Structure 1
């Protein structure tokens, strides 16, 4: 006895009691939920199958090119186990839209001697003409799908020639005509900003009277939270605490306007080029079996600056987000981030050392450890070889503060050495406060002359702002903006005094040291070498 059941993928309906000759099973399928809910396609299939004598009906909402449709797999399992005497479908493409898939299923019917009836094409495997007709119609069905795919490709190419926005938009955007635009629709999601009378406002029909922010503002706030927390999971936690986001299974893309993030989803959204003002095509492809696969970024078709007035991210912010995600991905482990609310740094003090420290004995990557002092008043953090007592003779760990001191000392020595080879810059003694460079003096003189001009011309004001930024980059050689344009040699040369290195925050070290250091080797409690990048 086959029992009826239902789930979100397939529905099995028992129409009549099991006859002596076994159930006559029917399989029905529609391609989309819209067809199932807003048309009579599914209803008509079910009625025709019932009239055709089906006593067990299996139906589902799935695309025909997929091989792993649960309803079809279940139907074919009944055929293999000979629990049914016959299968009825309305059209041959219900069994699949590719010749190999249809022939594979037909072979099962032939092996088990379970009959197949196709109503529209008057196919019956019991007749001599059945097999011939099936092969012919399967080929025609595949040709029809190929022609449809070709028409879709031509339509997509026409849209790309116009730099048109894609139908699926990231959260924070909407499509107006063929253009991306920031979504200014109010989004009432204010857990920590709700008014005292929020329960009364729940009955308000005029949305303009309700407090709230727009979808675009909400999206920008998510970006700011990530740039502050510098961690995907941590950002999702803060967003959830602020806006009261619950777990949700229905989110498919930005079009559904459901505000729900997972760390993986937030990562994909932050790295979406649409947020930077660009349009991207060919990010995914459809395989012959109907599955969606991600293309390599080298194969993407990127159209730059298609909606610069509606961007959520600047180029500098996009680069910073990319660096944060790449750093966190390559430096996984406990205590990467700082969770002390009183400490303004996002990263823990020695987070920058992750993936940089190696054992000088066996050349394997060292691991971070900690232990308490004998009086239990202090906790020491150190790096040790992961193969200690397993064949490696590097038995003693090296304290993290000693590694940091060795790195700073090496960088200072390199800075002095670079200065001695630069004829335009006199060498500075280690630990001294550097004098103003010739470039800084020229920039300050230029700004002084520009400030004397009181004209409000926008170009003049822009030149003043640019000069101020250049001065700040010279005064602070380790600012994020300055690091973008400097080589490793220039960064090291700029760090020519002890004060600069010791006043760096934990977040600054994460930004700077991995750019300069290739690796550090340790042996029995001391640093053996510090190797810089080229």
Structure 2
């Protein structure tokens, strides 16, 4: 039995969620008895709309008796799509009823001409809208005005980008103890919200700098605010709920793209995408081809140029990072490669140890051996220490560095005495513990602010630094410090099918 099908469409998510346009169309169509409603949130100029394609498929299968819509331009604003739609309608003898325009008729030449003219006018109106948008964009470029869409953390005010400091959410750990008693408070009550989008943006940047893994930083942000991960654009019909997105990042790649936006550094960029006629997905231009206007809102920047440069280093080092997010030894992931097949090795965790194994093991690669992270670390540290010792002493000492104190000299002598004792008694656990403790103390005395000193350093600076010529320095690095320094220095470590590190390649 054939069915009645109604179709609704709006062009933007704003029309669907905030302007009630989609809800209004659907409510009118729901008044039709026994009707199935299909809808899209997309431009009428594109034919690959899921709801529209489903409608065409039903008509082609002979399942439809009547098609309903509020207006003809809701069905399509593309004349070629209209001609295809008209052909199917004629073949399968389907009636098209438009609530605001009446029944579409093609039985006579005059009636068909009227329908065709309406379709041409709908396409022409779409082109006029695009022209007006283009002219408005040119005008904004000439005035160096803010673009229509502001990046997360910003809003437009008087054609300028300003930080969005309006409170919009409350962190889970900052909600009042009696929050369950505040259900009658308005949504914008200061008792309920105290964090703005600008606050979240600053916190996200800081977490990426600290954790140095965009995905892991993003996960922490979501957990702290109790937010659900965004899973793509889903049209919302029930606008009785607040469906506005607070956290826009669904993946580490999207937060990386956000960090690259010049607006965050106080600049405005235009022509960031290649615009071609009838192209749905615009192609991004390289950054050096953007039309840049610097310092358009310097007092509203979220990050400095120095912070931006540091983020680029982090993103560059993360391009090859794959695997789990456990704290084990994730800083090695993306640096370990299999000699047999040349692919990167993946992290495997047990309750006791962490290993790296070839991702293609059993799938054409004969490397079935795993290598423990401690063995990898030892091989990499040995190579870095050996390379540093081969380098000439650096004259590029940090400002304010002083001559070695007598306390440090005495500690060095004590370590040497313990090493001589260990040479005679290599299995003495007490001596081994004493050596590790003294090496830790020596590293801390050499540079109590080591992390701060090395986070901005180049690979050449690190490998030539006097501390790098101390084996204790490498072994006493924390995981956070190794993340920074390995990113700078290590290109890859190659593991043989025997589970041994056969080579370590550096960036320098």
Q: What is the aligned partner in structure 1 of residue 137 from structure 2?
A: 156
**From 105, 126, 129, the counterpart of 2:107:** 126
Q: Is the 8 A contact 2:40 2:50 kept in 1?
A: no
Q: What is the aligned partner in structure 2 of residue 354 from structure 1?
A: 333
- Residues 297 and 251 of structure 1: is their aligned pair in 2 closer, same or farther, counting only changes over 3 Å? farther
Q: What is the aligned partner in structure 2 of residue 532 from structure 1?
A: 506
Does residue 1:311 correspond to 2:301, yes or no? Answer: yes
**From 84, 89, 96, the counterpart of 1:109:** 89
Q: What is the aligned partner in structure 2 of residue 416 from structure 1?
A: 389
Q: What is the aligned partner in structure 2 of residue 492 from structure 1?
A: 463
Structure 1 length as normaliser, TM-score? Answer: 0.66
Q: What is the aligned partner in structure 2 of residue 404 from structure 1?
A: 377
Does residue 1:258 correspond to 2:237, yes or no? Answer: no
- Per-residue displacement from partner, 1:127-171 (whole Å, max 9, x unpaired)? 134555555554454333223312211111111222222222233
> 1:521 & 1:171 partners in 2: Cα distance?
41
> 1:209 & 1:397 partners in 2: Cα distance?
54
Q: What is the aligned partner in structure 1 of residue 146 from structure 2?
A: 165
**From 320, 327, 342, the counterpart of 1:330:** 320
- Residues 327 and 177 of structure 1: is their aligned pair in 2 closer, same or farther, counting only changes over 3 Å? same
- Per-residue displacement from partner, 1:214-247 (whole Å, max 9, x unpaired)? 4433432344344444445544554344334357
**From 169, 188, 194, the counterpart of 1:212:** 194
- Per-residue displacement from partner, 1:267-286 (whole Å, max 9, x unpaired)? 55444443332334345577
Q: What is the aligned partner in structure 2 of residue 449 from structure 1?
A: none
- Residues 94 and 371 of structure 1: is their aligned pair in 2 closer, same or farther, counting only changes over 3 Å? closer
Q: What is the aligned partner in structure 2 of residue 434 from structure 1?
A: none
- Larger deviation, residues 506-515 vs 241-250: 241-250
Q: Is the 8 A contact 1:246 1:260 kept in 2?
A: no
Q: Is the 8 A contact 1:116 1:125 kept in 2?
A: no
- Residues 116 and 384 of structure 1: is their aligned pair in 2 closer, same or farther, counting only changes over 3 Å? closer
Q: Is the 8 A contact 2:266 2:297 kept in 1?
A: yes
- Residues 174 and 251 of structure 1: is their aligned pair in 2 closer, same or farther, counting only changes over 3 Å? farther
Task: Report the alpha carbon displacement of residue 179 of structure 1 after superposing the two structures with TM.
Answer: 1.0
SS at match of 1:518: strand
- Residues 361 and 259 of structure 1: is their aligned pair in 2 closer, same or farther, counting only changes over 3 Å? closer
> 1:385 & 1:28 partners in 2: Cα distance?
51
> 2:81 & 2:310 partners in 1: Cα distance?
47
> 2:298 & 2:475 partners in 1: Cα distance?
40
- Residues 127 and 55 of structure 1: is their aligned pair in 2 closer, same or farther, counting only changes over 3 Å? farther
> 1:480 & 1:442 partners in 2: Cα distance?
13
- Residues 309 and 78 of structure 1: is their aligned pair in 2 closer, same or farther, counting only changes over 3 Å? same
Q: Is the 8 A contact 2:371 2:500 kept in 1?
A: yes
**From 481, 487, 496, the counterpart of 1:514:** 487
Task: Report the alpha carbon displacement of residue 178 of structure 1 after superposing the two structures with TM.
Answer: 0.9
Does residue 1:99 correspond to 2:87, yes or no? Answer: no
Give the CA RMSD over aligned residues: 4.7
> 1:102 & 1:174 partners in 2: Cα distance?
39
Task: Report which of the two structures shows the higher radius of gyration computed on alpha carbons.
Answer: 1
Q: Is the 8 A contact 2:354 2:373 kept in 1?
A: yes
Stretches of structure 2 that go unaligned for 5 or more consecutive residues are 236-241, 403-445
Q: What is the aligned partner in structure 2 of residue 466 from structure 1?
A: none
SS at match of 2:391: helix
- Residues 84 and 43 of structure 1: is their aligned pair in 2 closer, same or farther, counting only changes over 3 Å? closer
- Aligned pairs (5 A) from 1:48-59: none
- Per-residue displacement from partner, 1:413-451 (whole Å, max 9, x unpaired)? 3333331xxxxx5xxxxxxxxxxx655498669xxxxxx
- Aligned pairs (5 A) from 1:467-486: 484=456, 486=458
> 1:283 & 1:505 partners in 2: Cα distance?
40
Task: Report the alpha carbon displacement of residue 103 of structure 1 after superposing the two structures with TM.
Answer: 1.7
- Residues 352 and 138 of structure 1: is their aligned pair in 2 closer, same or farther, counting only changes over 3 Å? same
Task: Report the alpha carbon displacement of residue 85 of structure 1 after superposing the two structures with TM.
Answer: 5.3
Q: What is the aligned partner in structure 1 of residue 161 from structure 2?
A: 180
Structure 2 length as normaliser, TM-score? Answer: 0.69
> 2:356 & 2:19 partners in 1: Cα distance?
60
Q: Is the 8 A contact 2:3 2:64 kept in 1?
A: no
Q: What is the aligned partner in structure 1 of residue 263 from structure 2?
A: 274
> 2:303 & 2:75 partners in 1: Cα distance?
47
Q: Is the 8 A contact 1:365 1:386 kept in 2?
A: yes
Q: Is the 8 A contact 1:65 1:290 kept in 2?
A: no
Stretches of structure 1 that go unaligned for 5 or more consecutive residues are 5-11, 13-25, 339-347, 373-378, 420-424, 426-436, 446-473
Task: Report the alpha carbon displacement of residue 512 of structure 1 after superposing the two structures with TM.
Answer: 1.9
Task: Report the alpha carbon displacement of residue 532 of structure 1 after superposing the two structures with TM.
Answer: 2.2
> 1:383 & 1:39 partners in 2: Cα distance?
52
Task: Report the alpha carbon displacement of residue 92 of structure 1 after superposing the two structures with TM.
Answer: 4.6
Task: Report the alpha carbon displacement of residue 493 of structure 1 after superposing the two structures with TM.
Answer: 2.1
> 2:374 & 2:17 partners in 1: Cα distance?
62
SS at match of 1:192: helix
